[in-house]
Amino acid sequence: MAEFSPGLEGVVAAETAVSEVDGANGRLIYRGGYLIEDLVPVTSYEEVAYLLWHGELPNEKDLDAVRQHMSRARRLKDSARKTLMAMEPSTDPMDVLRTVVSAQGASPALTKPNLEEAVALTAVFPTIVGAVLRRRQGKDPVEPRDDLGHAANLLWSLEGKDPDSQKVHLVDSYLVLLADHGLNASTFAARVVASTGSDLASCVVGAIAALKGPAHGGATLAARNMLDKIGSAENAERWLTDAHARHERFSGFGHRVYRTYDPRAKILREMAKTASPELHRTAARTEEVALKILHDAHPERPNATNVDFWASVVLTGAGIPKELFTTVFATSRVSGWTAHVLESLSDLRIIRPASRWIGPEPGRKPLQLAKR
Amino acid sequence: MVDGANGRLVYQGYVIADLAQEMSFEEVAYLLWEGQLPNRSQLDALTSELAASRQLTKAANTALDALPKDTDPMDVLRSIVSVQGVEHRLASPTRPLAIHATASFPTILAMFYRRKLGLEPVQPRPDLGHAANYLHMMNGKEASPEVVRALNTYLVLLADHGMNASTFTARVIASTESDLSSALVGAIGALKGPAHGGAPSAVIEQLEEIGAAPDAERWMRDARKRKVKFMGFGHRVYRVYDPRAKILKEMCQRMNPKFFSLASKVEEIALTILHEEHPERPQSTNVEFYSAGVLQAIGLPKEFFTPTFAVSRVAGWSAHVLEQAAHNRIIRPQSEYIGPEPRKPVPLAQRG
């Protein structure tokens, strides 16, 4: 009998070269062996997506080709656009994304996941996310721009005006930072779907569905909501002390894998200073107090700020409304999801773990309805 | 519970063979959700709740009309379950939500099927049970009691099957505290794969290729030389004959003699060849093999075989999601890094 691992903690479920979370040393390694802190200053999101898909950073010619490919693939199919417009504007943004990606990826015949489709699906996310926001604001969606990079086109799709270069830089860095992260729950969902021989859209839709959960992608919004409730640096100590007394969890702290400070949180923390100085002040004080309270309560645990905490401040500084945070996370992570699916094709074996039966002894005879 | 060593499938303590002949799909769905069989008033309440939840939302209807008519029905199901299940605020999985979702699957498929054929949609009939209503909406007329009974048995047999890949997908999604529709949409995506639910139509296609019983052995021996996989054989868990396949085989013999005469011959040869190749492995017929013949006899087109599997399995998926949500822990396994050792990136202009 196999051993039972709740949450599959500690179970190795895949071999991967796409990324590695070295939790003990606080390192995130992307495909090719690059540390995240080395990539952020020198690469755009398109370069990192290329890296995750191909295993190598692109040269100028390759980069140009992938950029053009993405530009061409930004438009929604007619059926996907009608599906988008059929939903009420107030629909949960992740539900819109899940549905429209499903419609965009619908096809007459099963196709094996391929790179072409990975690029196309990645390219279309900003179009959907932008339309979600604009419809919530009572505005019409704008057509994607093929002269802009991925991050700039995302801001254009949201705002419908030429994006500010400072904000483009923030969004681009955020997208690079979140593009992959080992075998997290949404990536694992994508790999389980892929393991049945299903298509790429099904994998990505399953991953979006998993990312939606507050224990996963929804955590960035939760962190920002907590900061909103705290309101100011001066209020942080009182609010956190009260919340702790009520046994409330602090959003933005703790991670199953990292035993030290998350390297992404470190980079975002620096970016947050200039991105959103006012919110940074509240957040920095919140972090200081929260870590102290957590350490006092559980000195044995490695309590650390996670990526969601500082991502919420940087995205705010980039002008992204908080209800869109999880969809922007998905806009980044889709390159990682698709890279994992493509990688898994080389040695596809159905992922079918065992469960442990905890019900009654088999063989009870069902009673006829009238006798129950 | 899938007791592979003894060839038993157990729902909440009841062995599948004891349920398949007697129970309605509604009773079994209740069993999976509640852990016990319903009494008369509980069953009546569930039946009317299911019947009252069969309509699609306006957005779902619009989206259904927008998808091209040649779309894979599994992609239609994935997309329309997604739009049917949208919410404005994150809701935890509940039994009423499971009922709504389960009720909507036949409507989505029947609406699409009729649109594909250029036929008027048929509205759901609240006076019909789950299986009967599905066939009514597909065909625009009531099916015979025998056919309804056969579909009902199929739906009972396939409703759950331990921790298979689609159910596991649903649980991984639920483990992030996401909503029920998200979990179901993910599960549909997994069921679509040919290594999971996508196989019953492949069984029909292979039998069509084989053609006739006298040609079967020659075709199959040739096929093995070309490394062609026999569709409908083998299972990771069962070490003896799948109890569902046994029941479906009997039904198939009764309802679809033409299919059965070829299929039973092909089964015999396939098991012989597979045993010759791997005498050490337990070779057996899986549930998909005779499902194909039963679904064909019921009159469902083959591209609706896998979606009909989903019509059944949604009961199990949602039961697992409710169980996961009640005792949750995020499912986040580890991976083994097999890439190169850390190194520095070269600036763009210097890359060859």
Q: Over the stretch B13-67, which tens digit does the pLDDT of each residue have?
A: 888 888 887 899 999 999 999 999 999 999 999 999 999 999 999 999 999 999 9
Q: How far is B42 from chain A (nearest CA, A)?
A: 10
Are the beta carbons of A355 and B162 separated by less than 8 Å? yes
Q: Which residues contact A323 (CB under 8 A, 6 or more apart)?
A: A93, A136, A221
Percent of chain A whose predicted confidence (pLDDT) is above 90: 83
CA-to-CA distance for A286 and A303, rounded, in angstroms? 14
Are the beta carbons of A352 and B86 separated by less than 8 Å? no
Confidence (pLDDT) at B70: 97
pLDDT of B236 > 70? The answer is no
Q: How far is A220 from chain B (nearest CA, A)?
A: 14
Are the beta carbons of A213 and B181 separated by less than 8 Å? no
Query: Angle, to 10 degrees, between the axis of helix B305-326 and the axis of helix B95-116?
Result: 160
Confidence (pLDDT) at A1: 46
Are the beta carbons of B75 and A86 separated by less than 8 Å? no
Domains identified in chain B and CATH numbers? 2-194+302-326 (1.10.580.10), 200-295 (1.10.230.10)
* A219-317 has the same fold as A19-213+325-347: no
- Give Cα B53 distance to the centre of its chain: 21
The residue that leads in pLDDT, B203 or A331, is: A331
Q: Kindly state the helix (H) or strand (E) to which residue A174 belongs, with its residue range.
A: helix A165-178
Contact A28, A266 (CB under 8 A): no
Are the beta carbons of B176 and A197 separated by less than 8 Å? no
Tokens coding A296: 């006092």
What one-character-per-residue DSSP string does A25-69 give? GTEEEEGGGEEHHHHTTT--HHHHHHHHHHSS---HHHHHHHHHH
Give which of B22, B69, B82, B167 to mutate to test A binding, by max A Cβ within 10 Å. B82
Q: Tens of pLDDT along A219-277?
A: 999 999 999 999 999 999 999 999 999 999 999 998 767 778 899 999 999 999 999 99
Among residues B100, B235, B267, B320, which one is catalytic? B235
Confidence (pLDDT) at A301: 84
Confidence (pLDDT) at A115: 98
Q: Is A216 in the active site?
A: yes
Judged by phi (left if over 0) then psi (alpha if -120 to 50, else beta), residue A259 lies in alpha
How many residue pairs from chains A and B have C-beta atoms closer than 8 A? 355
Q: Which residues of B105-133 are buried (b: 16+ CB within 10 A; e: fewer)?
A: bbbbbbbbbbbbeeeebbebeeebbbbbb
Are the beta carbons of B40 and A369 separated by less than 8 Å? yes
Tokens coding B225: 């030389």
* Residue of chain B whose alpha carbon sits nearest to that of A20: B337
Q: Is B235 in the active site?
A: yes
User: What are the domain boundaries of chain A?
Assistant: 19-213+325-347, 219-317
Q: Cβ contacts (< 8 Å) between A39 and chain B: which residues? A: 345
Q: Cβ contacts (< 8 Å) between A87 and chain B: which residues? A: 59, 83, 86
Pairing relationship of beta strands B334-337 and B8-11 according to DSSP bridges: unpaired
Give which of A51, A95, A128, A135 to mutate to test B binding, by max B Cβ within 10 Å. A95
Contact A159, A186 (CB under 8 A): no
Contact B130, A160 (CB under 8 A): no
Among residues A150, A255, A280, A340, which one is catalytic? A255
The CATH T-level fold of domain A219-317 is Cytochrome p450-Terp; domain 2 (1.10.230)
Q: Cβ contacts (< 8 Å) between B349 and chain A: which residues? A: 60
Shortest CB distance from B63 goes to which of A27, A38, A103? A103
Nearest C-alpha neighbor of A130 from the set A87, A96, A169, A86? A96
* Residue of chain A whose alpha carbon sits nearest to that of B61: A86
Tokens coding A23: 């939790």
Mean pLDDT lowest for which of A205-209, B120-124, B174-178, B231-235? B231-235
Nearest C-alpha neighbor of A323 from the set B339, B88, B206, B121? B88
* Residue of chain B whose alpha carbon sits nearest to that of A44: B348
Contact A278, A230 (CB under 8 A): no
The domain defined by A19-213+325-347 carries CATH number 3.40.190.10? no
Which ipTM value was assigned to this complex?
0.93
Tokens coding B117: 């054929």
The residue that leads in pLDDT, B3 or A161, is: A161
Q: How far is CA A98 from CA A103, A141, B12, in A?
A: 9, 18, 33
CA-to-CA distance for A340 and B316, rounded, in angstroms? 28
Q: Tens of pLDDT along A82-104?
A: 999 999 999 999 999 999 999 99
Tokens coding A70: 């993405």
Mean pLDDT of the B301-317 span: 96
Give which of B156, B332, B346 to mutate to test A binding, by max A Cβ within 10 Å. B332
Q: Tens of pLDDT along A160-210?
A: 999 999 999 999 999 999 999 999 999 999 999 999 999 999 999 999 999
The residues that bridge with B11 in the sheet, in sequence order, are B14
Q: Which residues contact A64 (CB under 8 A, 6 or more apart)?
A: none
Nearest C-alpha neighbor of B12 from the set A94, A320, A365? A365
Are the beta carbons of B186 and A210 separated by less than 8 Å? yes
- Tell me whether residue A143 is exposed, middle or buried, using C-beta atoms within 10 angstroms of its C-beta: 0 to 12, 13 to 18, 19 or more: middle
Mean pLDDT of the A292-318 span: 93
Q: Which residues contact A262 (CB under 8 A, 6 or more apart)?
A: A26, A28, A255, A304, A305, A306, A307
Q: Tens of pLDDT along A222-231?
A: 999 999 999 9
Q: Cβ contacts (< 8 Å) between A353 and chain B: which residues? A: 163, 168
Q: Is A295 in the active site?
A: no
Locate tokens 């179009």: which residue? Answer: A127
Mean pLDDT of the B210-224 span: 93
Give residue B234's pLDDT band: very low, low, confident or very high (50, 70, 90).
Answer: confident
Q: Tens of pLDDT along B90-118?
A: 999 999 999 999 999 999 999 999 999 99
Mean pLDDT over the full length of chain B: 93
pLDDT of A2 > 70? The answer is no
